[in-house]
Structure 1
Amino acid sequence: MALLAFGIGALGWVFKERLRGRPVRPELVAVACATLPYAHFAFARADVGHLAQGIYPMLLGIFILLATLRTWASKLILSVLTAAVSLFILAAWQPGILARTQDGWRQINVSGSTISMDPGTADAVQLLRDLTGRYAPEGRTVLVLPFWPGAYPLLEREAPLWEIYALSPRTEDFQRAEIERIKNADPGFVLVFNMAMDSREALRFSNSHRLMDDYIRAHFEPVQPTPDPAYQIYKALPKAKINPTSEKVVD
């Protein structure tokens, strides 16, 4: 809630000072304008990771306000206090600390950079690369649903769909348009992470995008076994004749 309070309060104060003809520090205007747009990360998913993505403008604003204090001692004390509170809250979530205190972290090369990853993330990256090498070599399109948009830059592929973060339920017309994009893209494989996001069944892909899920099941072949029960992996069917009237695969 502090993100909303700071964003609204800072914008109100900036406009009030402007109307009174008083100058406002440009860096404070910048963070005031950026706080509310960044806040959507925290409200999209109420967890520490998403709060961390949305809190930067507010943190910058706090330090800008601290810089306006008159005494050097006040600036130092409040800055150290702010940093200490942040460290206390987030130390247990900091990847650099976790990589040194937990077992199983691995070094993975991504686009020329070596990145430390927790075991779950490293396994997911390896799975995507294995599937790509097996079913979508030589730049063939892949389809990863509903909420791994990072898979496409990781695999150096373009996303075949308009909706790369498919969490919200969609209308039948929207899904039919996406199905046409799948047909045109002809992906080599499809990976559906069919998990009930935030334990909400309505956000499970097979429920929120039922037409698309039905199309994938009918036009792609399941790959078994899968490393995780939530993963539904499909490969493209062998080249076959398509009946244009029924859209069914025939021998």
Structure 2
Amino acid sequence: MQSNLDLFTRPVDVPPLPRVLLQAVLTAFALSALVFAANWRYGYNMGDEGWAWHLSQLVLDGTLPVRDHFSYDPGRYLWVAAWFKAAGADGIFWWRAAGAAFGALGLACACGSMHWARLPLAARILFTLLLAMALAYPRHKVYEQSWSLIATAALFVALLRAGTKSWFCLGLVTGVAAILGRNSGLYCCLAAFAGLALHAQRYGLRSSRRGGLAFCAGVLAGYFPMLLWFVRDRVFANAMIASVRFTSDWQIPLPIPFPWRVRQMLGSVADVQTVATSWLSLATFLVYTFGLVELLCQRRRYITSEPALLLRAAALFVGIPYLHQGFYRADFGHIAQGILPAFIYLATWLRGGRHSRLAWGAAAIWTLMCICAWLPNVPCVNAWNANRHVPGSMVKQELGGARLVVDVNQARLIDQFAQAMHECAVGHEQALAMPYYPGMLPLVRRASPLWDLYFLYPRDMLFQRQQIARLQAARVKVILVHTEAAIDQRSDLRIGSTNPLLLEFIQERFKLRSILADGGRLYVRDCPP
């Protein structure tokens, strides 16, 4: 007679597919709603989060969704703008709600694929909870995080069902991925090619060719809205092409924080998080290296139709390309963005058998590393820890149509900027915050008068002259500039080095009014003293 523990950890029988999907969707959205409710009020990232929020507002107002020069492509802004339109509001709450809902889609795909692969209940519960925590941070990177889980599920279905319809659907997922972010589209293509190679081993080259053709057709169908947009709108096409050409200028690598590069004493929560991130980085590479070796050595096992093995292969094929997303610039935000398929890969080993204890031991170590690396960054935990360490450092502030809990210095900076705008009677496009304040303008309900919203990287003189012309045409009255801020403390990336002509114009034509809480300089023009 089987014990209750055995029933909890052994492989399960798969219920009908509609029931699997319903359970996955309900579980994912309920869990995501709980995580969202616990976190949405805490913190505000004036950089990337504010940038994405502002761009989504501009798209809602009819601006082209190519105001950035990264791989954040139009899909995410259109998704958020649709939420804004449905809600009749474009505040920070709805921006975060749209991201949480998208994360829930990825979590639902992960839940459903693990259930369909007959993984034990304990494994599904553990890794569903870990993924829910992982999707809570960083908020602005949830689209790549979620899509890596969606792609894993789609490739799993293609390998399991092995028909042309499944490969077409995988192509559709890949095409849509490229609309959300060109990097994700490329990673999905690479994963699909690896999946087609495994498909050829199982069913032969002829079947693999049919699957490949169906996949290509799906990619074209998924990406068709972008192709149509390219043909019908030359301004959009030119802006997209320019953003691709600019890729080499904005990509700044950061070394991977392997343990031998991190010498940190465990004196604070931040120190624990740093060390945990370093070991998690190493563990991720070890997991995928082991996965590749195991796949090559045991390739005959993968020719079978065992669902757990095919899910393992899918997670491996998707996860390896996403390592580029996570580790090219290896701060924790990017690492968190690129390693979620590894969670599903590890879950597939928790199926009992002779290696069961070893697998559960590895899962326990992975869980500990993830909790130590992620949990201090989860917004509600981060705010609680900051206030515990320095009482009064977090305050409630009315921002973006919601009452948020933010850093006291950040709240003071926002108040000072808003006061200057009020005193100078600033119009809709008569304020600017640079270089790293793209999230300031949506807080005060203003739009940037310039094409660039995030002044991170060098611009040529012609582009700077165009920016100056826009400043003059908009009759800008208030500008916040932090001349010493720089990525990675690199002096060549300060605003005086990246946009010297623009900074010189501001300093000559505007009057320095005050130096704000964070060292930023507030310049004004046509403003009462």
TM-score by length of 1: 0.73
Q: Which moved more, 1:124-133 or 1:85-94?
A: 85-94
What is residue 504 of structure 2 aligned with on the other side? Answer: 214
In structure 2, relative to structure 1, the CA distance for the partners of 1:180 and 1:94 (3 Å cut) is same
SS of 1:223's equivalent in the other structure is strand
**Residue aligning to 2:417:** 128
Structure 1 residue 190: deviation in Å? 0.5
Compared CA separation, residues 79 and 56, structure 1 to 2 (3 A): farther
Residues 136 and 142 in structure 1, CA contact (< 8 A), matched pair in contact too: no
Query: Structure 2: where are the runs of 5+ without partners?
Result: 1-183, 203-304
Deviations 1:142-172 (A, max 9, x none): 1111111111222221121111111212211
Verify: 1:168 aligned to 2:448, yes or no: no
2:326 maps to which residue? 39
Shift of residue 202, structure 1, vs aligned partner: 1.8
Describe the shift of the 1:82–1:164 C-alpha distance in structure 2 as closer, same or farther (beyond 3 A).
same
Task: Return the offset for 1:211.
Answer: 0.8
Q: 1:81 aligns with which of 347, 362, 365?
A: 365
> What SS does the aligned partner of 2:447 have?
coil
9 and 168 in structure 1: CA distance in 2 versus 1, 3 angstrom threshold = closer
**Which of 108-117 and 146-155 deviates more?**
108-117
473, 485, 490: which one aligns with 1:200:
490
**Inter-partner Cα distance in structure 2 for 1:119 and 1:230:** 15
Higher relative contact order, chain-length normalized (CA < 8 Å, sep 6+)? 2
- Asked if residue 69 in structure 1 is aligned to residue 69 in structure 2, the reply is no
Kindly report the root-mean-square deviation, in angstroms, between the aligned alpha carbons of the 2 structures: 3.5
Q: CA deviation at 1:199?
A: 3.0
Alignment of 1:4-83 (within 5 A): 14-21=192-199, 25=311, 28=315, 31-32=318-319, 35=322, 38-39=325-326, 43=329, 47=331, 51-59=332-340, 61-71=341-351, 78-83=362-367
1:190 equivalent among 466, 479, 486: 479
Secondary structure at the residue paired with 1:222?
A: strand
Distance 1:144 1:116 in 2: 22
* Structure 1 Cα separation of the partners of residues 324 and 335 of structure 2: 8
How much identity, in percent, do the aligned residues show? 22
Distance 1:133 1:150 in 2: 18
Q: How many corresponding residue pairs?
A: 225
Give 1:213 deviation, angstroms.
1.0
Task: State the distance in 1 between where 2:316 and 2:526 align.
Answer: 55
On the 8 A contact 2:512/2:522 being kept in 1, the answer is: yes
Separation in structure 2 between the aligned mates of residue 187 and residue 27 of structure 1, nearest angstrom: 52
Q: What is the CA–CA distance in structure 2 between the aligned matches of 1:71 and 1:180, rounded to whole Å?
A: 64
Q: Deviations over 1:172-204 (max 9, x none)?
A: 111101111111222220010111413322222
Task: Call closer, same or farther: CA 1:202–1:57 in 2, change over 3 Å.
Answer: closer
**Which of the residues 59, 84, 97 maps onto 2:381?**
97
Displacement after TM superposition at 1:208 (Å): 2.2
Query: Match of 2:136?
Result: none
List gaps (5 residues or longer) in structure 1.
1-6, 240-251
Higher strand share: 1
